[in-house]
């Protein structure tokens, strides 16, 4: 165990919440490798039963868990509660997904024996978690991996380690062996060591495109290691002709500013029909003016808490100023209302005439607006990104939605719904810089086990044919 300490601070207060010593990557991987064969050899029903016990353990501490997430991330308590509920629900969803996506198949043929399809676990899986959903998103990898028979080493974000520790503790209290699922505390160096470790058979990552690309590059010469990358997006929400202006504005605000904009599916770009621009933006401004921004336990509950830390808040305000200085027009200024704490007011900028619109994921409550005059231009603008995670059309006709659906490059395409809030019972992932074609959520079962095709007979039977005298 290292003497180096990682400290977690509460974004809403700046107070120290938790601290711990950096872990030993080699030791964690060695213990996982030693524990994996016995875990994989257990009947599937036994593993599922232990994970159902895990769900019950989370239920027992549901309120405390939600409070910890709220303190460590700064998100409102109501939202933290929904995250804990998602952790619990993930077990039954993953049980069903494993049966549907990786179930066993047999086809009997009297003379040719049996053709069988089964699935095997990879071995030791490294799960690298993000800070925005520090329980739900790593858990979305861990549960399917454990059901399939893998061992797991979780390295949570160094910004939210306390949540990761509590998550793993719930697995252990449920009876999952301590070496089968482990909590590894560390920063970027430990993450790099875990990714590159010869004893790790798979890397399951959720986070920024920059880090995901680095992982992909590092493992490019090692095709034997399964890699699943979920890397966020520069997501468009397209607003077209609709008389329901208030509803459209509400969907925009929900898409752009839920979780203080710290969702990979958050709307970063509002692409709007010029005819709808004035009424919709006026209503968006009215809604954001009414928005309560505050600490997790404030009453009444806020809609939006702080971003994760002051460095992130500084980067976002600098991005706002950059867009303004390069031709953007402020619709709503981004401000720091509580001094040095990382609270931000939503920033909205018209970047239609901007000289430079960087194609990056600005991970916070910052929305760029682009006016367009026809639907083809709207689709082209929506696709004007290297990312491809989420997109939504608000308004429009069924024919226009079909056109957008057919032409947009994104893994999640919604109509008259927010860009965020994807279902765990569906696949979750994108194209381009948003992922490497290994969608998570319901399809996580696909990368947690590999298919094995077999032809089998109880006794050897063969005959020679053409080419023998």
Question: CB-based contacts of 457: which residues, under 8 Å, 6+ apart?
Answer: 112, 113, 114
Q: Over the range 245-277, which residues count as b (16 or more CB within 10 Å of their CB) and which as e? A: beebbbbbbbbbbbbbbbbbbbbbbbbbbeebb
62: three-class secondary structure by DSSP:
helix
Specify whether the CB–CB gap between 75 and 305 falls below 8 A: yes
pLDDT for the residue 323: 97
pLDDT for the residue 17: 98
Q: What's the CATH number for 5-231+435-455? A: 3.40.605.10
Specify whether the CB–CB gap between 382 and 408 falls below 8 A: yes
Tell the CATH superfamily of the 235-415 domain.
Aldehyde Dehydrogenase; Chain A, domain 2 (3.40.309.10)
pLDDT for the residue 9: 98
Supply the residues annotated as catalytic: 230, 264
Instruction: Provide the residue ranges of all domains of the chain, joining segments of one domain with +.
Output: 5-231+435-455, 235-415
Question: CB-based contacts of 444: which residues, under 8 Å, 6+ apart?
Answer: 94, 97, 140, 141, 144, 145, 228
Angle at 378 between CA 374 and CA 384, to 5 degrees: 145
pLDDT for the residue 110: 61
348: three-class secondary structure by DSSP:
strand
Question: CB-based contacts of 232: which residues, under 8 Å, 6+ apart?
Answer: 207, 208, 209, 264, 361, 363, 387, 389, 434
Q: Which residue has the tokens 């399964």?
A: 226
For β-strands 235-239 and 267-273, DSSP reports them as: parallel
**Cα 457 from Cα 233, distance rounded (Å):** 50
Same fold, 5-231+435-455 and 235-415: no
**Cα 296 from Cα 373, distance rounded (Å):** 41
**Cα 141 from Cα 176, distance rounded (Å):** 16
> Would you give per-residue pLDDT tens digits along the chain (469 residues)?
567 999 999 999 999 999 999 999 999 999 999 999 999 999 999 999 999 999 999 999 999 999 999 999 999 999 999 999 999 999 999 999 999 999 888 888 766 788 899 999 999 999 999 999 999 999 999 999 999 999 999 999 999 999 999 999 999 999 999 999 999 999 999 999 999 999 999 999 999 999 999 999 999 999 999 999 999 999 999 999 999 999 999 999 999 999 999 999 999 999 999 999 999 999 999 999 999 999 999 999 999 999 999 999 999 999 999 999 999 999 999 999 998 999 999 999 999 999 889 999 999 999 999 999 999 999 999 999 999 999 999 999 999 999 999 999 999 999 999 999 788 899 999 999 999 999 999 999 999 999 999 988 888 888 888 999 8
pLDDT for the residue 112: 75
Question: What's the helix, strand, coil split of the chain in %, to 5?
Answer: 40, 20, 40
Output the six-digit token pair for 212. 């995901």
């Amino acid at each position: 165990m290292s003497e180096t300490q990682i400290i977690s601070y509460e974004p809403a207060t700046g107070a120290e919440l938790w601290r711990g010593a950096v872990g030993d990557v080699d030791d964690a991987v060695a213990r996982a490798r030693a524990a994996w064969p016995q875990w994989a050899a257990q009947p599937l029903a036994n593993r599922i039963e232990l994970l159902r016990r895990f769900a019950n353990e989370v239920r027992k501490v549901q309120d405390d868990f939600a409070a910890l997430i709220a303190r460590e991330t700064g998100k409102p308590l109501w939202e933290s509660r929904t995250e804990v509920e998602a952790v619990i629900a993930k077990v039954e969803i993953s049980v069903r997904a494993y049966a549907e996506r990786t179930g066993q198949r047999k086809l009997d043929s009297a003379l040719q024996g049996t053709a069988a399809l089964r699935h095997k676990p990879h071995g030791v899986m490294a799960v690298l978690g993000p800070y925005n959903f520090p329980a739900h998103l790593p858990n979305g990898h861990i549960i399917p991996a454990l059901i399939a028979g893998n061992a797991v080493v979780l390295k949570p974000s160094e910004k939210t380690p306390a949540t990761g520790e509590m998550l793993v503790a719930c697995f252990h209290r449920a009876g999952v062996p301590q070496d089968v699922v482990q909590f590894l505390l560390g920063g970027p160096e430990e993450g790099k060591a875990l990714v590159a470790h010869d004893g790790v058979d798979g890397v399951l990552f959720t986070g920024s495109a920059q880090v995901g690309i680095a992982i992909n590059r590092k493992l490019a010469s090692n095709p034997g290691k399964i890699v699943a990358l979920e890397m966020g997006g520069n997501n468009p929400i397209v607003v077209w002709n609709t008389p329901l202006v208030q509803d459209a504005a509400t969907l925009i605000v929900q898409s752009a500013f839920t979780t203080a904009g710290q969702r990979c599916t958050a709307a970063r770009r509002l692409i709007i029909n010029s005819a709808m621009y004035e009424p919709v933006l006026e209503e968006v401004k009215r809604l954001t003016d009414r928005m309560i921004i505050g600490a997790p336990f404030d009453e009444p509950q806020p809609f939006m808490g702080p971003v994760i830390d002051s460095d992130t808040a500084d980067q976002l305000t600098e991005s706002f100023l950059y867009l303004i200085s390069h031709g953007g027009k402020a619709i709503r200024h981004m401000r720091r209302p509580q001094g040095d704490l990382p609270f931000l007011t939503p920033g909205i900028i018209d970047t239609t005439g901007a000289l430079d619109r960087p194609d990056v994921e600005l991970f916070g409550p910052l929305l760029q607006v682009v006016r367009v005059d026809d639907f083809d231009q709207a689709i082209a603008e929506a696709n004007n990104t290297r990312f491809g995670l989420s997109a939504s059309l608000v308004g429009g006709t069924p024919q226009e939605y079909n056109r957008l659906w057919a032409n947009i490059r994104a893994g999640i395409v919604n109509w008259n719904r927010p860009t965020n809030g994807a279902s765990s019972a569906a696949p979750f992932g994108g194209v381009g810089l948003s992922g490497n074609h290994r969608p998570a959520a319901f399809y996580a079962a696909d990368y947690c086990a590999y298919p094995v095709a077999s032809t089998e007979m109880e006794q050897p039977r063969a005959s020679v044919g053409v080419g023998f005298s």
